A and B are shown apart, each in its own frame.
Chain A
Amino acid sequence: MADDIPKHALERLEGLRREGHPDGIFTSDFSVNEFLLVRKAGFEPIGLCVGSCIYHLGFQFAGWGSNVELEQLSLAMYEARALAMERMKLEAAQMGADGIVGVRLTVKRLEWDRKVLEFVAIGTSIVHASGHTGFKGKDGQPFTSALTGQDFWTLLQAGYRPLEMVMGSCVYHVARRGPLATLGSVGQNVELTNFSLALYEAREIAMERMQLEATKAGAEGVVGADLHEGSHNWATHVIEFFAVGTAVLPIEGHEQDDIPDPKLVLSVNV
């Protein structure tokens, strides 16, 4: 019934009230569900925060037949993202945020120069509704997390809080196979070990770097870890492996028994 709708909302619907709030407006890219769940978790959004970095990627030589990390490119890809994240975090700190949720990290090649990439970090900064300061990240800075509003609520229910987004990058040159090796495997089912080795190693390096960041942040673990591969229009044998996740810490006093058993349901309208 209309009785379920609060008076505040009914007044707006009847056109009886139309005041704006020039001093206290928040912006966010939350969906309705995310907004409600962040509120349910006891937080309020305060503003969209964005950081970007336009980065020129130079050239690094790698031998035709060598499996090798292109360290300058790895560093560049990491630095560009870190700069974008840092700027986003600075904006959140200026707003007085406790943290940023729903961070999306994108990379886009600019059409007019294939060596110029645009890195963007965008998320919604939030504050605890009751002023609880225990959710801040490392050194009292806003925490960062790639978690959606839904994931954020669920993580808190699980007894953890986000600390910071951690990442690791590795740009790797995968060696080409020599003509003799290629001829030798014609018609055979055989593992191409130099390719396996290269992909394995590159992923491992990216994961190690991400894990090291989490250790330095003092985290207990990393949730939502994901590993992406991208070539960013480089030569065919150059691939970037990028690991990213949200480092988390346990919430003090939260017990395992506090977590309700999930209910099992079966949707029949799939």
Chain B
Amino acid sequence: MTSAEQEARHAAWEVALEQDRLPPFVEQRLRDAGAGRTPWVATMTPAELLLAKTHGVRPIATVSGTCWYSFGWSWTEGHAEGWHRALRRIGEEAFAAGANAVVDVKMRTIKHGFGSGMDFTLIGTAVKVDGLKPSPDPIIATVPALEFVRLLEMGITPVGMAVGAAYDWLGNVGGFGQGYGSNWGSSSWQIQSEIQPWSSNPVYTLTDFWERIRREAHAELRRNASAQGNGVLAHTHFGQLLRRERDKQPPAYLGRHIVIGTVIDTPRNAPVPHGIEIVLDMADRTPLVSGSVSRNDVYGGEIGEGEGPI
């Protein structure tokens, strides 16, 4: 690629990101794939391809949505916005490919040491279903193709992704980029009285504050999902309770919580048509329990060093 071509591509990307659409060369690639003029590309395994094919689900192209988002006054809301933008963009690519859905959508982020903020990326496989017209609004399914087909069979449509994020300060800290607590200004004194070096006791003020943030994040998740479906399988939970020391005052606390899940649409009490057979695997190591690493582990879970279950 010549430097002039490179510059032209960069300019096209800039215009596309500004106008919330795709660069012409990406759109063309996806249209060609959708029309069968170029080979299909799928993140599916051969087993997934097999099952998808039996149900008339055919791969078109690998599609993605990326947004590098810098956090201003709210890290928490920045994460929610970053994922939402990535979702819109992967949807645009799927639409250009003439897809009915994107399956196997994985959340990705690059652990980097440059710039502020972080990248929010979604990658998946755009698919079409035999006999159906392309959807003006392809569904974004954060489940592998194998599970996608199984869910469809059972009347459950994975339709998208929902994000619930909430944060608050306990004790006003003021200043740009610091945020203000809501109605918790005097509570930090209360916490000081609840934390006595020798006594073992619940810290009720902090617990109530922290629980409220979690609940708000869950309520936000419900609100975000309710425009798409009637259920969420929440696979990612991330929360932090941080303390900031203050001069001549008790510390202030920042609580932030993010929960992300796959939105599904299913009739209430839909039957599960398949029978379930109990089998005992005679192999000493079974593939049924291997590969348990989370697909969307962008936050590394809540469990870290010195922490654990129970």
Contact (A2, B241) CB under 8 Å given A9-B156, A13-B101, A109-B307: no
Chain B residues whose CB sits within 8 angstroms of the CB of A264 once the complex forms: 279-280, 282
Closest partner residue, chain B, to A26 (CB atom): B231
Task: Judge whether B129 is part of the interface by a CB distance below 8 angstroms.
Answer: yes
Closest partner residue, chain A, to B308 (CB atom): A230
Interface footprint category on A = 35 or more
Contact (A55, B200) CB under 8 Å given A32-B143, A32-B151, A106-B309: yes
Q: Are A50 and B211 in contact (CB under 8 A)?
A: yes
Closest partner residue, chain B, to A51 (CB atom): B211
A236→B286 CA distance, assembly (Å): 37
Nearest chain B CB to A202 CB, angstrom units? 15
Contact (A25, B222) CB under 8 Å given A44-B269, A266-B281: yes
Q: Are A14 and B135 in contact (CB under 8 A)?
A: yes
Contact (A50, B214) CB under 8 Å given A1-B56, A10-B132: yes
Please choose the segment from B36-44, B104-112, B191-199 that sits at the chain A interface, where 4 or more of its residues have CB less than 8 A away. B191-199
Task: Judge whether B171 is part of the interface by a CB distance below 8 angstroms.
Answer: no
Task: Judge whether A113 is part of the interface by a CB distance below 8 angstroms.
Answer: yes
Q: Are A27 and B269 in contact (CB under 8 A)?
A: no
Chain A residues whose CB sits within 8 angstroms of the CB of B215 once the complex forms: 50
Q: Are A106 and B303 in contact (CB under 8 A)?
A: yes
A48→B259 CA distance, assembly (Å): 11
Q: DSSP majority for the A interface?
A: mixed
Please choose the segment from A76-84, A133-141, A188-196, A213-221 that sits at the chain B interface, where 4 or more of its residues have CB less than 8 A away. A76-84
Task: Judge whether A177 is part of the interface by a CB distance below 8 angstroms.
Answer: no
Q: Are A39 and B281 in contact (CB under 8 A)?
A: no
Nearest chain B CB to A234 CB, angstrom units? 11
Chain A residues whose CB sits within 8 angstroms of the CB of B268 once the complex forms: 24, 44
Q: Are A12 and B157 in contact (CB under 8 A)?
A: yes
Q: Are B278 and A5 in contact (CB under 8 A)?
A: no
Closest partner residue, chain B, to A262 (CB atom): B278
What sequence of 0s and 1s flags, for each residue 272-308 of chain B, a beta carbon within 8 Å of any chain A beta carbon? 1000111111111111100000000000001110111
What sequence of 0s and 1s flags, for each residue 45-74 of chain A, a beta carbon within 8 Å of any chain B beta carbon? 100101111111111000000000000110
Task: Judge whether A184 is part of the interface by a CB distance below 8 angstroms.
Answer: no
Task: Judge whether A152 is part of the interface by a CB distance below 8 angstroms.
Answer: no
Contact (A270, B278) CB under 8 Å given A32-B233, A72-B200: no
Nearest chain A CB to B136 CB, angstrom units? 5
Nearest chain B CB to A147 CB, angstrom units? 15
Closest partner residue, chain B, to A104 (CB atom): B309
Chain B residues whose CB sits within 8 angstroms of the CB of A111 once the complex forms: 242
Task: Judge whether B201 is part of the interface by a CB distance below 8 angstroms.
Answer: yes
Q: Are B202 and A5 in contact (CB under 8 A)?
A: no
Q: Are A15 and B207 in contact (CB under 8 A)?
A: no
Q: Are B56 and A14 in contact (CB under 8 A)?
A: no
Q: Are B207 and A25 in contact (CB under 8 A)?
A: no
Q: Are B229 and A4 in contact (CB under 8 A)?
A: no
Closest partner residue, chain A, to B56 (CB atom): A2
Q: Are B310 and A20 in contact (CB under 8 A)?
A: no
Nearest chain A CB to B254 CB, angstrom units? 11
**Partner among B136, B218, B303 whose Cβ is within 8 Å of the Cβ of A50:** B218
Nearest chain A CB to B53 CB, angstrom units? 10
Nearest chain B CB to A24 CB, angstrom units? 5
Task: Judge whether B74 is part of the interface by a CB distance below 8 angstroms.
Answer: no
Task: Judge whether A153 is part of the interface by a CB distance below 8 angstroms.
Answer: yes
A4→B259 CA distance, assembly (Å): 33
Q: Are B306 and A8 in contact (CB under 8 A)?
A: no
Task: Judge whether A176 is part of the interface by a CB distance below 8 angstroms.
Answer: no
Contact (A54, B285) CB under 8 Å given A9-B155, A118-B241: no
Which residues of B119-155 have CB atoms within 8 Å of chain A's CB atoms?
129-139, 143, 147, 150-155
**Partner among A22, A28, A269 whose Cβ is within 8 Å of the Cβ of B232:** A28
A122→B237 CA distance, assembly (Å): 11
Q: Are B200 and A110 in contact (CB under 8 A)?
A: no
Chain A residues whose CB sits within 8 angstroms of the CB of B178 once the complex forms: none
With most chain B CB atoms within 10 A of its CB, the pick from A36, A56, A75, A111 is A56
**Shortest Cβ-Cβ A-B pairs, 8 listed:** A15-B135, A2-B56, A21-B230, A76-B200, A112-B243, A20-B227, A58-B200, A13-B100
Other 10 A-B pairs with CB < 8 A, given A9-B157, A29-B237, A260-B277 = A5-B55, A13-B135, A29-B261, A31-B233, A48-B259, A54-B206, A56-B199, A79-B202, A118-B210, A263-B280
Which residues of B pack against A, CB within 8 Å? 54-57, 100-101, 129-139, 143, 147, 150-157, 159, 194-203, 206-207, 210-211, 214-215, 218, 221-222, 225-235, 237, 241-243, 251, 259, 261, 265-270, 272, 276-288, 302-304, 306-310
